[in-house]
């Protein structure tokens, strides 16, 4: 029975007295007090009876005004759902959460301040130019750099490359057919004419050749078949022209044509020229040489140096699609070449240069490797050995301890860092770039030296 049901029972008591049976479950001392106080306010008498041992204890506690600890706690939970400890927990949990967030944010901020900021320091140095020629021998039979003899290790290279290339034909030629006809020749005496006898048309000067040998009887005529000496429509002569034999007959002979000459034609066509073939050979050979150099570097490493002027090129196969003068819109070339040379490592030549020039470098200075240029002059390749004069153009700069500069700058503010960089006497100019770009009062060089980069460059 619920508490409210029991209170209604008190209100409904007709004789001013109500008997209330205390259930064993879902009932506590506080509920008893509430029922008792309600009865008193209504001027009613309430009599409690217990349904079991637990109810008896509750009634005894009420009558003796003693509240067992377990029942008191149970009553407090029913009367006050939110206990003081619950309120404390309600305050403590958010406080702990906020504190945890602050700790995480603090750790993140520390990590961000340590790992995220970056600094780049660009130091401009005043170089001393150094130009010198050094004899160099690249020998495939040695294994170490020898500054005393100017020798560096080399590698003999033999590479074959094949390729095909096409180009439009640029030559022109006139082609066509020769005019043909018949000339009636006469003479006062017997004449004998050979094949190919030349007969000229008197007005135009066109020359025709006899198709076959023939004989003209005395005081008779002969119809000789002829073909123009050259192609073209200009030899398609009309009928009634006069002709004279130039050569090939035993005596002077004249004649005329009763019918017009026909069949002569001409047109300009594109043909393969010698320059077409020459250009194809030059261009394709250059491409194959570059391809061979890439092959050498791919199997030897990107640091492998190939001296172009020291490459021996041998054409193994060469086939053109069209001969010179042959009619064609384009011409192609199939080419196979063999390249022979001796290469060397860039690092080896740099080491040789450093050892050779070390005696020329003032104390406290060093070679600036990024600005050293080496030009091989007059290379000569003989067997497994390559020799040349190395023209070295180098720059000598003050020795800079990058790690010391990083350690000295770490953690400084922008102003202090600039003052430090100004104090470096061997530096002509500097640039300090800090990231992120905060207000100057908040800018600092990272404490983590791995986040500091020092770059050296020389004055233009």
Is residue 249 within 8 A of residue 214, CB to CB? The reply is no
pLDDT for 7 equals: 66
Mean pLDDT lowest among 106-110, 194-198, 212-216: 106-110
As a whole-number percent, the residues of the chain with pLDDT over 90 amount to 57
* Confidence category of residue 115, pLDDT binned at 50, 70, 90: low
- State the sign of the Cα–Cα–Cα–Cα dihedral 409, 410, 412, 415: positive
Is the model's pLDDT at 101 over the cut of 80?
A: no
Region 241-270 average pLDDT: 92
Is residue 152 within 8 A of residue 138, CB to CB? The reply is yes
Give the 3-state secondary structure of residue 230: strand
Mean pLDDT lowest among 106-120, 123-137, 176-190, 375-389: 106-120
Is the model's pLDDT at 91 over the cut of 50?
A: yes
* Confidence category of residue 4, pLDDT binned at 50, 70, 90: low
* Confidence category of residue 286, pLDDT binned at 50, 70, 90: very high
Could you read off the pLDDT of 289-300 as tens digits, one per residue? 999 988 888 888
Cα separation, 177 vs 230, whole angstroms: 8
Distance, CA of 231 to chain centre: 59
246-250 CB contacts, 8 Å cutoff, 24+ apart: 246/198, 246/199, 246/200, 246/207, 247/197, 247/198, 248/193, 248/194, 248/196, 248/197, 248/198, 248/210, 249/191, 249/192, 249/193, 249/194, 249/197, 250/191, 250/192, 250/193
Instruction: Kindly state the helix (H) or strand (E) to which residue 88 belongs, with its residue range.
Output: helix 84-115
Q: pTM (2 decimals)?
A: 0.50
Cα separation, 251 vs 208, whole angstroms: 17
pLDDT for 346 equals: 92
Closest to 195 in 3D by CA, of 215, 179, 211:
211
Could you read off the pLDDT of 343-379 as tens digits, one per residue? 999 999 999 998 888 878 878 888 887 778 899 999 9
Region 97-104 average pLDDT: 71
* Confidence category of residue 70, pLDDT binned at 50, 70, 90: very low
Q: Tell me, what DSSP letter sits at residue 189?
A: S
The residue that leads in pLDDT, 92 or 352, is 352
pLDDT for 113 equals: 54
For the chain, what is the total number of helices (H) and then of strands (E)? 9, 22
Tokens representing 317? Answer: 């196969």
Could you read off the pLDDT of 382-418 as tens digits, one per residue? 999 999 999 999 888 888 999 999 999 999 999 999 9
Contacts with 106 (C-beta within 8 Å, 6 or more apart), sequence order: none
The residue that leads in pLDDT, 239 or 27, is 239
């Amino acid at each position: 029975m619920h508490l409210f049901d029991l209170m209604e029972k008190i209100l409904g008591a007709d004789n001013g007295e109500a008997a209330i049976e205390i259930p064993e479950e879902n009932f506590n001392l506080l509920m008893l007090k509430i029922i008792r106080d309600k009865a008193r306010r209504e001027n009613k008498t309430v009599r409690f009876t217990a349904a079991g041992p637990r109810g008896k204890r509750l009634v005894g506690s009420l009558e003796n005004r003693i509240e067992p600890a377990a029942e008191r706690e149970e009553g407090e939970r029913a009367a006050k759902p939110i206990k003081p400890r619950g309120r404390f927990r309600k305050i403590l949990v958010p406080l702990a959460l906020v504190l945890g967030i602050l700790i995480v944010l603090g750790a993140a901020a520390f990590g961000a301040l340590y790992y995220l900021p970056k600094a780049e320091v660009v130091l401009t140095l005043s170089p001393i130019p150094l130009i010198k020629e050094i004899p160099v021998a690249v020998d495939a039979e040695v294994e170490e750099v020898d500054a005393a003899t100017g020798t560096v290790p080399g590698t003999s290279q033999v590479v074959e490359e094949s390729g095909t290339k096409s180009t439009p034909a640029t030559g022109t030629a006139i082609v066509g057919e020769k005019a043909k006809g018949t000339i009636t020749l006469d003479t006062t005496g017997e004449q004998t004419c050979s094949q190919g006898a030349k007969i000229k048309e008197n007005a135009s000067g066109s020359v025709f050749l006899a198709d076959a040998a023939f004989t003209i009887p005395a005081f008779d005529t002969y119809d000789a078949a002829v073909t123009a000496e050259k192609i073209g429509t200009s030899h398609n002569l009309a009928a009634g022209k006069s002709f004279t034999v130039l050569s090939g007959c035993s005596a002077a002979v004249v004649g005329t044509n009763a019918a017009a000459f026909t069949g002569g034609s001409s047109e300009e066509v594109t043909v393969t020229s010698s320059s077409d073939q020459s250009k194809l050979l030059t261009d394709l050979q250059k491409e194959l040489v570059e391809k061979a150099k890439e092959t050498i570097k791919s199997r030897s490493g990107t640091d492998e140096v190939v001296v172009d002027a020291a490459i021996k090129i041998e054409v193994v196969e060469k086939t053109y699609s069209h001969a010179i003068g042959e009619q064609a819109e384009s011409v192609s070339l199939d080419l196979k070449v063999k390249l022979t040379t001796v290469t060397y490592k860039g690092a080896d030549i740099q080491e040789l240069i450093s050892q050779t020039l070390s005696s020329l470098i003032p104390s406290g200075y060093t070679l600036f490797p990024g600005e050293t240029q080496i030009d091989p002059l007059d290379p000569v390749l003989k067997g497994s050995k390559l020799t040349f004069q190395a023209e070295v153009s180098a720059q000598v700069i003050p020795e800079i301890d990058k790690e010391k500069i990083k350690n000295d700058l770490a953690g400084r503010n922008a102003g202090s860092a600039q003052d430090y960089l100004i104090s470096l006497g061997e530096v002509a100019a500097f640039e300090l770039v800090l990231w992120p770009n905060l207000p100057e009062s908040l800018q600092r060089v990272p404490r983590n030296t791995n986040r500091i980069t020092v770059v050296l460059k020389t004055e233009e």
